[in-house]
Every structure is written in C-alpha cells, then in structure tokens.
Amino acid sequence: MTMTPKELVGKTAAKRIHDGMLIGLGTGSTAKWFTHYVAERVRDENLMVRCVCTSDATEQQARAAGLNVIPLGAGMTLDICVDGADEFNSDLILIKGGGGAHVREKIVARAARQVVIVTDSSKRVATLGAFPLPVAVLPFAAESTAELLHQCFEVPVTQRTSPDGMPFVSDDNLAILDLHFGVIQRPALLDQRIRQLPGVVDTGLFVGIAHEVLVAHPDGRVESVRPPQ
C-alpha cells in the first residue's frame, strides 16, 4: 500500500531516533505520523526513549501507543524535536499554530538541540503569509487585543472558533486570533512587534528555530532542506 506524503515523511523522521533519546513530539496531521512510527520502533526494537509532548492530543496518542511521556523539566535539553508547519520559506522561518498548539510547540522546540520539521511540498512558499498568522492571547481581553492588532497592522483579525461556534480555547486556556496578512515581508520584525503588545502571549512565527525541514513529495521523494549558510 502506497504511503501518503505525510505518512512517508513521518516515518522518515522516525528513523532519526536512537536508544536513550529524549524526544519532543509535535502536534498536527503530519507530526502524528512521526509519533506513530516512533512508537512502532520502540515496540519492535525495544528502544528506551522518553517523550515530551506539545499538546494534550499528542500526549493522548503517545500514551495510548505505550510511549514514556514526561513533563518538560527545568534545565532539560531534548535531543530532537519533530513537528509540522503550516508554511515555511527558504530561510526556514515557519508559520505554525493551525491547531492552536504553537505556544507549547515553541517552548519544546527551544529546549531541543535539533528541531526537524516534517511537511509535504504544499507547505513550501516563497513568501509567508497566505496562511493566517495565529496569535495566542489572554482570553481576558481577546476582543480588545484583536482590535489593537487590527489598528497596529491594518489587517483583518478574526478570533478562532471551535466547531460548535464557541471561541476556541487552547490547551493552555488561551484564545487564538488569526491575522490575515496575505504577505509577510519581514517576519522576524513582525514577530517582535506583535509580541510587544499587551495581551499577546506568543505568535505562530518560528524564527531561527528550525534546523531542517523534511519535505515529502508526491513522487515518494523526501527532500532535506536546511537554512542558507
């Protein structure tokens, strides 16, 4: 049976795992395949690994698959973190947060020696911004924070909702605002400017975090993309 690109790249990344590793498990439709194949290798090869999860959903999947899940402790350094992305550019700057887990994802990624992003070729873009930029904010004043973001950047801002129509709430009890830029010319500066605003917890821009992106192509190739030297 032919693998989907997401399954293929997840399995490819799982080959990077070795006995004794401390692993960051990402969130999303591609990262879940990495978790699946890590668990398969742990069972088949009797590997001893420990895992830090970036969301409640990933933790549930990991525990159900028999993986050893631990919290991220003070001073802990992960050997590798593997996660997905909604967009990435040639500088390996990412937009993440389509699932609303980007605050934990960024914390776990920052604690890792190596950050590998798993994607399919549709996520590669010349310029970031077609995917709305998720911004996690305090629910206390989500509406006023949305208005402030709109005033500062003059782009449409929408508060994310759940399937039932209620405001979306992240695992960390944060509201998610989606900023519709269309084109983001200076992502590092934009990330800095947004994070300075009151009420903002973090953005879905991951700048200088990813070390490698594994890209699955429809023809079965998996391409390794690294930042320019």
- Report the alpha-carbon distance of residue 32 to residue 13 in Å, rounded: 11
Q: Which of 7, 59, 87, 105 is catalytic?
A: 105
Closest CA to 97 of 51, 127, 68, 137: 137
Q: Please check whether residue 143 is in contact with residue 149, taking contact to mean a CB–CB distance below 8 angstroms.
A: no
Closest CA to 81 of 25, 30, 11: 25
Residue 40: active-site member: no
CB atoms within 10 A of CB 81: 27
Contacts of 19 (CB under 8 A, 6+ apart): 45, 47, 48, 49
Catalytic residues: 105
